Structure 1
Amino acid sequence: MLDGLEAALRRSHPDRPAVLGRRGIRRGDLADLAAGYAGALHHRGLAAGDTIGVAVRPGPRALAIMLAAYRLGLRVAVLDPSAGPDVLTARLALARPALVVADAAAQAVAGWAQRLAGRAGLALPALDRLGPVVTVGRRLPGSAPALAPRGPAGVPDRSDSDGDAVIVFTSGTTSRPRAVVHTRASVNAGMAAVTGLVGPRPGDVVLGGTFFVLVPSLAAGAAVVQPARSARRLAVQLDRVRPRHTYLTPPQLRAVLDAGARFTGSVYSGSAPVSAALLGRVRAAGATAAYGVYALTELFPAAAVEAAEKASFDGDGDLIGAPLPGVEASLDETGQLLLAGPSAAHRYLGEEPLNAVATGDVARLDADGRIVLAGRCKDMILRRAENIYPGLYEPALHVSGVNLALLVGVPAGDGDERLVAVVEPQPGADERAVRKSLTAPLARMGAARPDAVVFAPVPVAGRSRKPDRAAAAALAARLTGSGRG
């Protein structure tokens, strides 16, 4: 898919929009921008196998840089400037990019790029100082020198080569960050899987902001619009562009639904748990289909389930659907879900190749081969010598009127834990009605019934705004008056 995208942008309706909106661009112009950046990177002496760090906001420039890197056979290390200077320093030390490409906003947020550009202040243990930084797009005072697009004459085309394509950092401390390495083959396989799941068509409008949304859509001839940041503006945007396909995270969906949004076409959501209740709200708001997508940085996408199938599931745990074509699911001796397939990452940087991706999720495979999650291995709660996996029971707590619900353990003082349900009602929901609706699900939990139920906003963290279990446990301890042992 990536091999021929630049040519497809020129060949197929080059005057049509590729990305809509204030920072939009036509298909042919996007191809020209990618070719210009390829020329600029080649002129700086970068060659196949080199690594560049990219800290550019999602949009046409970021996509053009990625396409340029792909054409030259470069490896891209995706950098998040909001991670903070210490974490960024450790990640840069691990990836060792020959060049860091950043926009002015990323440099301003990070507060590190100017020092890098001056090759001062970030000398790392046992490493030479890091390479130079360049700016794409508009420069601000103090920004690094510009990476100006150049003519593509003499630029080699390594787009059909093998090897590493991208490094994505997932977690880790400043001393040991962890980085997922995808090859060019696994990236292409992942995007092919997205195409098979979604089925974008020429002329469609697709709303979404990630690379895995942009590339399959553009390759199919669709136009992409990036979601507005505020829920109110996003609701207006959905009404104005009426996308055939929409990709939003669960927090984005909840916020825009609370803002009164209406949907058209199919809606896909992932990166955090997606409840049947949330998918049901999306369908009720006009979507023709609503899917929860199970994906990891190491394998995207892995499984998907539509709202109706998820709502009809009455077993314990969280049904995430059957593995997508090519994805192989199995369990290890502890019940942890293992995944393999063409779209799986090759390895973690500095480690041996992966035979399978260990997801960290406890799961089971039902009689139809569908994956049912029971919770995170590390989230297990020990109460009265019984192991309780929260994910096995949390879906039942998402009754009408509930935005989010978590089960967390609060230390009881003797190595045991109290089990507390933290429930976040939807805005305007009647708390008494929600408590009444929870009566039956709580009764069905048997030995895993929580010791207390508290109503409060569930803490979230990270760029995807996932529920923060540690913060929720601390909140539950305060609200229930539980002391630390």
Structure 2
Amino acid sequence: MLHDIEHLLAQPFGSLPELIAQQAAHRPRHTALILDTHRLDYAALHAGMNRVARSLQQGGLGPGDVVAICAGTSVGYVLAYLGALRAGAAVAPLAPSATAGHLSAMLDNCGARLVLRDREVAAQWPLHAGVGAGAALRCVALDDAPEAGEPWSQWLAAGDAAPATIAPQPDWPFNVIYSSGTTGVPKGIVQSWAMRWSHVRRAVTNGYGPDAVSLCATPLYSNTTLVAALPTLALGGTLVLMRKFDAAQYLQLAEQHGATHTMLVPVQYQRLMACPDFDRTNLSRLQHKFCTSAPFSAALKAEVLRRWPGRLIEYYGMTEGGVRCELHCHDHPTKLHTVGRPAEGADMRFIDEQGRELPAGEQGEIVGHSAGMMSGYYRLEGKTREAEWFDAQGKRFIRSGDVGRLDADGFIVLGDRKKDMIITGGFNVYPSDIESVLCQHPQVAECAVIGVPSEQWGETPVAYVVARPGQLPAAAELRDWLNTRVGKTQRVAAVQLVERLPRSEIGKVLKRQLREQFVQDGLAAL
């Protein structure tokens, strides 16, 4: 049976549900999933996945259909996700933190006829005829809450009969992941079965396998979680989930379950380093640490390396795929200011404003081609074309929207999102350059710089600052301190002190919200 698993993984394309079925046959009593006091072995995971698939098939859902899930982390969520795949349907995991308007727009875009949700989501997102598939839309309550829909316990098919067999094709939609919406209404990113298969095969090289215990503390709708959670289960490991990240609880779970792998976002590393329990927690087994989704400062990387031995790998990429870099921080301690080198099989280029390819070393927008690239944005052909770039030979690349350059050793030094770049008096100003200086002030914990309207310059930089605990800096003094240390065009017009920066659930600073806040505060222009 082990040979069957190895044979599957050796194939250029395969089925993730089939791998889980093989794991259940090979080690049925091995723990697959842990959440709070709930434990599922592979036999139970496989049986639950099959019951969901049969329920969907009985409702007429299968290949070509989309199943939406909008709920907090739960065992039922995992079973629903895997079961939809087993039936051949694509999954659209929607963020419960999104507004009701955005959720309805996402549901309408993906065209799901079934949405699985819970009580908390139903309270903020009442569905009615005319939304999504209208009267044909079916709601199932993962937590059996009557206000959320048909009870999960009644909807699930009874018995142990196998669902109808499906044969997924490489170009089938595997899931539709909606972007974080940092710049407006989220777009549905179609990831194919082939793209997800490449993620699973790649995970083998990072130590995922039957002995892996992977601790995930980010939401299940996030691609950050899925790139760790799905390979963990496909390769026969144990997945430990948290409903919500808490640094002290995370450390307790890591030690209790002997976690070997973890995928975290930078703000979670920051909170772990600041947790009083960190230095007295035994994390000796947790040797495979990964980070992605938001800027990871060189200082924080260095602190993690110093206090938490083992591998630390930063991934730079996008849910859309194409662009993919890896920085093995433990092997390259002098390159912590970079996001690493292009990963194996990834082709990274740099282009100017007119889409012309730039020579190595020049700064421009990063575009990438790799095995893991989205099929496109769901039902948004125009947006898909905007996200693509083709070289002279017609090779397809995905545009990142990020600015960067290649250093002399082949490492990528990242700048900013193109949309976050500030044009002041005709000069391009990159917020990250200003932020890196401002964060050196002893009273500054974190900061974000945005461009705001200026009658004199068109745009001008403004800094939002979170002070270190116990510190009460004066905004004007911070502004003056900063402006003596940056170039003339980089000088900020104002510093705004805030208790916290707005972030998505995976730690990205929502600069769009800061720009909106600037207007709401009556500061229309400077």
2:138 matched to 1:143?
no
2:376 matched to 1:376?
no
Give the percent of matched residue pairs that are identical in Structure 1 and Structure 2. 24
Which residue pairs with 2:342 in the alignment? Answer: 323
Which residue pairs with 2:221 in the alignment? Answer: none
Decide which of 292, 305, 309 is 1:287's aligned counterpart: 309
For 1:135, give the aligned amino acid.
A
Decide which of 229, 251, 261 is 1:235's aligned counterpart: 251
Number of aligned positions between the proteins: 466
* Structure 2 counterparts to residues 8-47 of structure 1, below 5 A: 8-20=22-34, 21-47=36-62
For 1:123, give the aligned amino acid.
G
Q: Within 1, Cα distance between the matches of 2:406 and 2:319?
A: 22
Q: 389-398 or 168-177, which moves further after superposition? A: 168-177
Q: Within 1, Cα distance between the matches of 2:524 and 2:96?
A: 37
For 2:259, give the aligned amino acid.
P
SS in 2 for 1:462: coil
Q: Which runs of 5+ in 2 are unaligned?
A: 1-14, 218-224, 354-363, 389-395
2:209 matched to 1:164?
no
Deviation at 1:17, TM superposition (A): 1.3
2:410 matched to 1:391?
no
Deviation at 1:36, TM superposition (A): 1.2
Decide which of 291, 296, 317 is 1:269's aligned counterpart: 291
Deviation at 1:431, TM superposition (A): 7.2
Q: Which runs of 5+ in 1 are unaligned?
A: none
TM-score (norm 2): 0.78
Deviation at 1:62, TM superposition (A): 2.1
Deviation at 1:11, TM superposition (A): 2.5
Which residue pairs with 2:196 in the alignment? Answer: 187
For 1:165, give the aligned amino acid.
F
- Asked whether the 8 Å contact 2:213–2:240 carries over to 1, the reply is yes
- Asked whether the 8 Å contact 1:123–1:130 carries over to 2, the reply is no
Q: 1-10 or 325-334, which moves further after superposition? A: 1-10
Which residue pairs with 2:7 in the alignment? Answer: none
Q: Within 2, Cα distance between the matches of 1:310 and 1:424?
A: 30
Deviation at 1:389, TM superposition (A): 1.4
Q: 5-14 or 319-328, which moves further after superposition? A: 5-14
Which residue pairs with 2:503 in the alignment? Answer: 461
- Asked whether the 8 Å contact 1:364–1:371 carries over to 2, the reply is yes
Q: Deviations over 1:151-180 (max 9, x none)?
A: 453622225334111111115699965211
User: Relative to structure 1, is the Cα distance of residues 372 and 149 closer, same or farther in structure 2, using a 3 angstrom cutoff?
Assistant: farther
2:380 matched to 1:351?
yes
Q: Deviations over 1:225-275 (max 9, x none)?
A: 123532332233334334222212222222232223244423212211111
User: Relative to structure 1, is the Cα distance of residues 478 and 309 closer, same or farther in structure 2, using a 3 angstrom cutoff?
Assistant: farther
Decide which of 132, 138, 144 is 1:132's aligned counterpart: 138
Q: Within 2, Cα distance between the matches of 1:301 and 1:192?
A: 18
- Asked whether the 8 Å contact 1:70–1:158 carries over to 2, the reply is no
TM-score (norm 1): 0.84
Measured on the aligned residues, the alpha-carbon RMSD in Å equals 3.5
- Asked whether the 8 Å contact 1:458–1:467 carries over to 2, the reply is no
SS in 2 for 1:81: coil
For 1:131, give the aligned amino acid.
L
SS in 1 for 2:97: helix
Deviation at 1:279, TM superposition (A): 1.7
2:370 matched to 1:341?
yes
Deviation at 1:470, TM superposition (A): 4.3
User: Relative to structure 1, is the Cα distance of residues 448 and 369 closer, same or farther in structure 2, using a 3 angstrom cutoff?
Assistant: farther
- Asked whether the 8 Å contact 2:366–2:402 carries over to 1, the reply is yes
Q: Within 1, Cα distance between the matches of 2:472 and 2:331?
A: 28
SS in 2 for 1:460: coil
Deviation at 1:33, TM superposition (A): 0.7
Deviation at 1:455, TM superposition (A): 6.0
For 1:419, give the aligned amino acid.
P
Deviation at 1:185, TM superposition (A): 0.8
Which residue pairs with 1:6 in the alignment? Answer: 20
User: Relative to structure 1, is the Cα distance of residues 58 and 384 closer, same or farther in structure 2, using a 3 angstrom cutoff?
Assistant: same
Deviation at 1:34, TM superposition (A): 0.5
